Amino acid sequence: MIDVCLLGCGGMVPLPDRSLTALLYKYNGKMILIDCGEGTQVSIRRMGWGFKAIEAICITHYHGDHIAGLPGLLMTMGNSGRTEPVTILGPPPLADVVRALTIIAPELPFQVILKELPVEAAACWKIGEIMINSTPGEHLIPSLAYNLQINRAGKFLVENAIAYEIPVKYWSKLQRGETIVHQDKKYIPEMVLGEPREGIKITYITDTRQTDSLIPFAKDSDLLICEGMYGDDSLIGKARERGHMVFSDAAKLARESNSKELWLTHYSPSLGHPEDFLETAAKIFSNTKCGEDRMWRHISYHSEKELS
């Protein structure tokens, strides 16, 4: 139902074999990108997912390894034929940052809509059926964590539709959440839908210290993608000082939030072989994987998993 791709897993500077951290999320023909470091376009092209369908770009914070690729990406989207508006979300001062970066992309064939999100409280924004939620992190500059959620309506109850004598031609509209008025009768979705079913939640956290507020934010994530700047616990002090986490921090967050799977990302350039430290995290949270460039997976609704 949802495809998610870790376009790159590096922090600070791109390396010959490691791109800068960015995440691409695809659902029902729409794509959402989180962060856009230099070279993000390369991984998107190599995945073959295209550029035209990117509906929104979420920025965690304004260090160059997370946003320097934005002007080139916007130009590529324009050259791909996109004319519909594109929304960019991020902490303040979003407008100033985007204005400065797009000096080199002054003529785009689409409108850029800016949505500045608070850094002192949680916020949400909706793109089609996708809920984008943000919460503040603790970094050297204002930063945000994001989760993307698809909420799922209840099962359509045919017996209710028949009992209410609702014409069949309206069933699909009610299932989509529309209200129908027919011959002075009003039909609402609640008449024919059961209890809401469990949806899908993907959480992305990077460039922040570990904080208690991140636990409820990541709660019950199908996939938690979280930074592990360093693998060695002896570097916890250095990580805290710079507003980052180590592998064990991310694993504790995954365990305490009851997440189903953890991908580590945003490695320091000094961390040449993250897999050497995987056991440190896996002892705390067993379903931990070291992120790699262009690592991706398909996530289905839970009922679909149960049937497969």
CA 15/CA 147 separation, integer angstroms: 27
For 80-93, the pLDDT digits (tens) are 999 999 999 999 99
Do 78 and 65 contact (CB within 8 A), yes or no?
Answer: no
Query: In this structure, how many other beta carbons lie within 10 angstroms of the beta carbon of residue 107?
Result: 7
66 is known to lie in a ligand binding site: yes
CATH homologous superfamily for the domain 2-153+196-307:
Ribonuclease Z/Hydroxyacylglutathione hydrolase-like (3.60.15.10)
Residue-wise pLDDT for 39-77, tens only, equals: 999 999 999 999 999 999 999 999 999 999 999 999 999
Whether 266 has a binding-site annotation, put simply, is yes
List the structure tokens of 284: 């705390």
Mark whether 276 is an active-site residue: no
CA-to-CA distance for 211 and 223, rounded, in angstroms? 19
Catalytic residue among 65, 222, 249, 293: 65
**Position 273 pLDDT exceeds 90:** yes
Of 249, 173, 170, nearest to 209 by C-alpha is: 249
Is 63 annotated for ligand binding? yes
272 is written with which tokens?
Answer: 């040449």
Whether pLDDT at 121 is above 80 = yes
Model confidence over 204-263: pLDDT tens digits? 999 999 998 999 999 999 999 999 999 999 999 999 999 999 999 999 999 999 999 999
pLDDT value at residue 305 = 44
Compute the average pLDDT of residues 130-138: 95
What is the spatial distance between Cα 40 and Cα 18, in angstroms, rounded to a whole number? 11
Q: What is the pTM of this model?
A: 0.86
**204, 216, 199, 224: which is closest to 57 by C-alpha?**
204
pLDDT of 302: 65
User: Does 244 appear as a known binding residue?
Assistant: no
pLDDT greater than 80 at residue 308? no
Distance CA 177, CA 126 (A): 16
pLDDT of residue 307: 32
Q: Which residues are CB-neighbours of 210 under 8 A, at least 6 positions away?
A: 245, 249, 252, 253
Distance CA 255, CA 241 (A): 24
The domain locations on the chain are: 2-153+196-307, 154-195
